[in-house]
Chains A and B, each alone.
Chain A
C-alpha cells in the first residue's frame, strides 16, 4: 500500500494544516483521534458499510454511455452518484460523520450548505439518528434553492439564513464555524466538502473514497480495464477527491477536475481557484483560493450553487502542484450545453455541478477512443427551476 498524505499535522505537501482560533484546536484533536479510532475499528467499518448499502443505496452502478461515446468518438462510462439517496454523493460523507458524532456522544449537529444538497444529506442523517440539526445557508441561496430549504425543514432541521458578506456558501461556512467555536462542547460540525482544518479534508476523503473504490473495481470487472481518463467536477472537491483517490497510484489514469469558469476566467466572475487563484488561508486550511492583492477573499460566480465557492480542498492543491491531477475551468454556458446534451443523449439529467465535468468531454481534445470515466455527482432535480429560467426549449 502506497503511503499517501496527509502527514500527522494534516499537511498535503505544503497544503492543509489548521488555521482556526485556539478554542477549536482541542475539539479538532478529539475529532482526529475519534475518526482514526473509528476508521480502524471493524465494527465502525461494518456499520458504515451497512449504511452505504441500505441507506445510501450503494454500490451505485457505472453506466456505459453508448450514444455519448458515439458522438465524441470516446468510450465513456458514468459513475452514478446521482442514484444515491437524496440525489448526490453528499450523503456518503454526512452518514459517515453522523455515525462518528453518535460515537463521540455529540447530540447537536451543525452544517453549512450552498445548493442545499449537503444540508439535505445532513438533515437526513440527523433524522435517522435522532440528532438536533442546524443548517447555515446564505440568504441568497435560501432564495435560490427554496425547495431544498423546505426539504431540510421537512426533515426536522432548522435552517438559518446568513446575510453577512456574500450571502452565499462562503459566509454560511463562516457562520457555521462561529457556531462551532461557541458550542464546541456539545456540537459536531459536519463539514460538507474536503475543506476546513485537519482532520476534515482527510476524513471527508475517506468517507467519499467509496466512489472511486467501487468505480475502479467496476471498471476492471465490466470493461476489463482501467479508464485512461477520469473526470469529476470540483467545488470544495469532495466528489472529485473521493473519485480520484483509488486511481492515484494508477499513473496511467489521467485525473481531471472541472472547475466553475462562470462567465469566463477573463471576466473575473468565476469560481476557479485552482485554475486562476493563488495559495492562502480560508476556512481553516492553506490551499488555493480566490483573493485580491491584499489577501481579501473575493466574490465568486457560478451558475451552479454547489461550485460557487472561492476555496478548494488542500489535497487538490497538492495534486495540482505535483502534476498528478489537472484542472480546467468550464463556463456556465458550456455547462448548460452539456446539461442539455447529456439529458438528450443518455436520458440522464445531471446536476449543474457535474454538467461541468461532462462539458470537458467536448472541450478537451481527448485522444480518440480513450476510455473515459466521468463522475456524475448528483441529479438535476434541484436545478429544474433555474434551468427552466435559463433555457429556452
Chain B
C-alpha cells in the first residue's frame, strides 16, 4: 500500500475527502519551497502536487504558464526541485506533475529513481497517456512511484478503463475540455464523467482544472474523492507569499478549502 492509498483510507475513516493542492517548483524562488510545502501541510492539504516547470506547457493556462516561466527564468532545474522537496521533509504525499520531455531527458528510470529519492510518492505527466506509457510505468514501478493518469470528459469508456488500469494512487479527472486555470463554474456534467469513472475503477477519483473556491471544492467532493486546486494557489503565492511574510494568507485559504472537504 502506498502513502497515497493510506491517505485515502485515513480520509475515508474520517468521512473526509482529499484536498489536493498544486505549487510550481521554483515559483516563488526554490529556497522558499520547503517552507511553502510545510505551510500547505500544516494548513491541511492532504496531497501536494509539485509542478516541474517545462518550457512548453501545452496543458496549462495563463497562470501556471507564467509561473513556470518565472521559475525557468530564475534558472531552476528539476534536481533543485527534488532537493527542495527532500529538504522540506513533510509527511503528506507529494506527487510531481510535469511533462514527458522532462522525465525522458535522462531516461524514465533515472527520473523515477531521483523523484522517489526525493521522498515523493507519485508522478503525473500531463502529455503522457497510457498508450505511450509502457516504459514510464515500468520505471515508476521499479522506483516505487505511483503513476497518476488523467481522464477527460472526452474519454470513451474504453479509454477510461485504459487510464484506470494504468493508474495507481488515484485517477485525475479533468473537469472540462481545456487547460488548467480558474473558472467561474465547475461544469455540471462533471458528475457524469465521475460516475463513468467510478463504475470502472475502485481507485479514488480526484477532480481538477478550474477549481478555486470552497464552494467548488464542496460541490466536487460531493461526487468525487477529492478536489485539486492549482492555479488559485499559484496566484496566491505569487501575490502574497513574499518570502514567507504572507504565509498566513496561504494558510487561511488552504484551511478554508480543506474545511469544504469535510462537509
Contact = CB atoms under 8 A, between A and B. Distances in A.
22 contacts: A21-B58, A21-B150, A22-B154, A23-B152, A23-B177, A24-B154, A25-B154, A26-B155, A164-B62, A164-B69, A165-B55, A165-B56, A171-B56, A177-B58, A181-B178, A185-B154, A280-B104, A283-B58, A293-B105, A294-B105, A295-B102, A297-B101
Interface residue tally of chain B, by bracket? 35 or more
A18 B154 contact: no
A291 interface: yes
Contact of A20 (B55, B58, B178): B58
Contacts of A178: 58-61, 179
A215 to B, nearest CB: 35
Interface residue tally of chain A, by bracket? 35 or more
A196 B128 CA distance: 14
Given A165-B55, A282-B101, A291-B101, 16 more contacts: A18-B131, A19-B132, A22-B149, A23-B153, A25-B155, A181-B177, A182-B177, A185-B154, A281-B101, A281-B104, A293-B105, A295-B54, A295-B101, A296-B72, A297-B56, A297-B101
Contact of A25 (B58, B65, B77, B159): B159
Contacts of B177: 23, 181-185
A294 B103 CA distance: 9
B188 interface: no
Contacts of A20: 58, 127, 129
B139 to A, nearest CB: 15
Contacts of A265: none
B83 to A, nearest CB: 14
B163 interface: yes
Contacts of B149: 22
A17 interface: yes
A22 B159 contact: yes
Contact of A22 (B61, B103, B151): B151
A312 to B, nearest CB: 15
Interface in A269-303: 280-284, 291, 293-298
B176 to A, nearest CB: 8
A298 B101 CA distance: 13
A17 B132 contact: yes
Contacts of A104: none
B7 interface: no
A175 B129 CA distance: 20
Interface string B26-54: 00000000000000000000000000001
A362 interface: no
A382 interface: no
Contact of B100 (A19, A294, A296, A297): A19
A363 interface: no
Contacts of A27: 154
A103 interface: no
A22 B61 CA distance: 16
Interface in B158-201: 159, 163, 174, 177-179
Interface in B127-147: 127-129, 131-132
A118 interface: no
A184 B178 CA distance: 9
Interface string B7-22: 0000000000000000
B57 interface: yes
B113 interface: no
Nearest to A296: B55
Contacts of B101: 280-282, 291, 295, 297
B156 interface: yes
A171 B55 CA distance: 9
Q: Which 5 A-B pairs have the closest CB atoms?
A: A295-B105, A23-B152, A182-B178, A22-B150, A296-B55
Interface in A187-216: none
A9 interface: yes
B125 to A, nearest CB: 9
Given A18-B132, A22-B151, A281-B100, A182 B179 contact: yes
B235 interface: no
B184 to A, nearest CB: 15
Given A165-B56, A297-B56, A19 B178 contact: no
A9 B131 contact: yes
Given A178-B179, A295-B54, A22 B105 contact: no
A17 B69 CA distance: 27
B247 interface: no
A18 B129 CA distance: 8
Nearest to A11: B132
Interface in A5-47: 9, 17-27
Contacts of B154: 22-27, 184-185
Nearest to A175: B58
A316 interface: no
A212 B152 CA distance: 40
Nearest to A171: B56
A174 interface: yes
Contacts of A24: 154
A22 B56 CA distance: 17
Contacts of A108: none
B58 A174 contact: yes
A170 interface: yes
A362 B154 CA distance: 52
Contacts of A165: 55-56, 69
A291 B126 CA distance: 19
B56 A174 contact: yes
